[in-house]
A and B are shown apart, each in its own frame.
Chain A
Amino acid sequence: MTRARSLDRRGVTWGLIAVAVFLALTFFGSDRLVWFDAALVGYLFGTLFAVFGIIYRYAVWLRRPPTMMLNRRGWDAFRANAGRNLVALPSLVATQLLAQGFIRRRSTARWIAHQLVFWGCILAALVTFPLTMGLLHFESVGQQGDRYRVFLSRFGTIDFDAESIFGWLMFHALDVAAVLVLGGVFIFLRRRLRDPGALAVERSGDFLALAGLFAVSVTGLFLTVSSLWLDGRFYSALNTLHALTVVLGLMYIPFGKLFHIFQRPGNLGVAYYKAANEQGPAATCRRCGEPFASAQQIADLQTVLPQVGFDYGIDGGGNYQDTCPRCRRASVTLAQSVRVGGFG
C-alpha cells in the first residue's frame, strides 16, 4: 500500500501567507470591517479556500524542475532588457492573454465561446471579490433615493442615477456576466457533445468546469428573476443555492481545469525567453551539423533531464539530446533498418 503524500511544507507556507494578506486586505479595505457585509461571509470562506489552494498549487507547480527552470529563465530574460521588455508587456498581455488570437486561429466558435466565458468571469470577479471583501459598497446621495455613490473602501468615487442605463448596468453587472458566461458555456457544450474528436479526448474536468460555470450563472440569474418578477419568492432558498454553487466553484478552481487561468501567463515568460534566445547562439546538430534550436534552451533541457530521471548521455562523450528532431527520426529509422537487414 502506498503512503499518502503529505502536504508540501513550502506550498502550505506560501498559501497561509496569501490567506493572511487577503484577510489583511479585507480588514483594512473594509475600514476595519465597517463595510464588510456579514451576509457574504460564506463567499469569503470560499474565496479564502481558493486563495490558499491556488497559491499552494502554484508553489508546488513552480518547483517542478522544468517549470522552475523556465520561470527563472523567463525572469532572467525580462531583466536582461527590462526597459524594452516593459514597453512590450502591454502588447503581449493584450494579444496573448486578453485577445487570445491563438484560439481564434484554431476555431472562431471556440474563440467566441472562450471570450464570452473569459470576459464574463472577469466582470463577475471584479464585482464579487470587492463586494465580498468589503472594498466596494454603494450609498444613496443625500435624501435623494434615485442617486447613488460608489465607495471604494471609505472613499467616495462616482455618483450615478439608479434609473439610468449606467445605473442599470451597475446593479445588473453580475447578470450581464452570467449571460456572457452562459453564451460561452452553450457553445463549448455543443462542441463537446457533437465533435467526435473532442469527445475522444474528453476529460472529466472538461464537463465539470462547464457544469460549474453553468450552475453559478443560472442560480445567479434566478435571484434576479425572483426579485424582479416573483416579488422575492424563493429568494432565500435561491440565495443559499447560489452561494453554495459559488463556494463549491471557488473551491474547485485550484484543483480543476480552471487553474489554467493562473498557468497561462507563463506564456509571457516563454515569449521573453524565446526572444532572448533568438539573440544568442544556436545549437548545432551532432549528426547533420545544422542549427536547430537555441543553445540556451538545449543547455537548459540538458540540465533539467537528469533532474527528472533521464540520462541521454553517450558513452565516450556527447549527448543524444544534441541531435536535431529530424536526425533523431532518421537515426531511429536507420537503426531499425540495420536490425531487419536493410530497407525494402
Chain B
Amino acid sequence: MRPPRYGVDDSPIFVIDQSRCIGCEACVQACEECGTHRGRSMIHLDRIDRAATTQTAPMICMHCEDPTCAQVCPADAIKQTEGGVVQSALKPRCIGCSNCVLACPFGVPKYVAEFDQMMKCDMCQDRTAEGYAPMCASVCPSEALWYGTVDEFTERRRGTLLDAWLFGRQQVRTKVFTVVDDVSPGPLDALSTGTGTWLDDPFGLEEGT
C-alpha cells in the first residue's frame, strides 16, 4: 500500500500521544533513516519508571512557536522555517555550548560530542516537504506518533488536540499536538504529573484520581 501523500492545502498535523507508546522502538530505528541525520536517531524513548512499570514514552521536537532553544543560542544557529519547523542547529554556526540542550522545556536537543554540535529532530523535512509523514510516524504501530489531517484525526481517534503547554509560569505553544481527554482543554501543565497516582491506577478506573 502506498503511504498517503498530503498536499499543502491538506495542512497535515503531527500528533504525539505518549500514553499510547508500547516501547517497540520502531520510531527509534526509523528516525535513523531520516536524510538530514542519517544513521543517528533523534528520538528519545524513555522508560518512565523502570522499577515500577514497563511504560515507555517517545519524545520528538515539539517545534515551539517561540523556541526557547533558538532564543538562548549564543550563535543564533537555530532557525525556524516559514512552516514553523524548528531546524537542527546550522552546522557552520553551532559552537557546541549546549545552552539549547539545557533550556528546552521538553528536553529534546542532543549535544553530539563527536561532532561538537547540537542535533535534534527537524520533523523529517525531507519527507514532510514532499507531503509524506515523518519516518517515526510512518512506522509507529500504536499511533503514539501520528501524522495526518485534523479531519482524519477526528474520524479515527478520540480525544482533543492540544498545542498549549505550561512549564512553571511559562506558556509554550507548539506546532506538534498532543492529545487530552478534556472537552475544553487548558494548557497541559508539565508540573501536574499526579505524582504516583498513575502507578496505582494506570487506567484511571478509581474514583477521584
Residue numbers of A with Cβ under 8 A of B are 61, 64, 66-67, 69-71, 96, 102, 105-106, 195-201, 203, 257, 260, 263-264, 266-267, 269-270, 273-274, 293, 297-298, 301, 304-305, 308-315, 318-321, 324-344
Contact = CB atoms under 8 A, between A and B. Distances in A.
Contact of B19 (A71, A106, A326, A337): A337
B72 A305 contact: yes
Interface string B182-209: 1001001111111101100111100000
B102 to A, nearest CB: 5
B10 interface: no
B152 interface: no
Interface string B92-124: 110111110111111110000011110000100
A338 B193 contact: yes
B191 A314 contact: yes
Nearest to B45: A329
B152 to A, nearest CB: 19
Contact of B116 (A102, A273, A308, A340): A102
Contact of A333 (B18, B181, B197): B18
Contact of B105 (A312, A318, A333): A312
Contact of B103 (A71, A305, A343, A344): A305
B95 A320 contact: no
Given A329-B108, A331-B193, A343-B202, 18 more contacts: A64-B76, A67-B75, A197-B37, A260-B90, A267-B95, A267-B96, A310-B71, A314-B169, A320-B168, A320-B191, A330-B57, A335-B188, A335-B191, A335-B192, A337-B18, A341-B203, A343-B198, A344-B203
A330 B48 contact: yes
A279 B42 CA distance: 30
Interface residues of B, number: 78
A62 to B, nearest CB: 9
Instruction: Point out which of A67, A313, A327, A337 has the most chain B C-beta atoms below 10 A from its C-beta.
Output: A337
A200 B97 contact: no
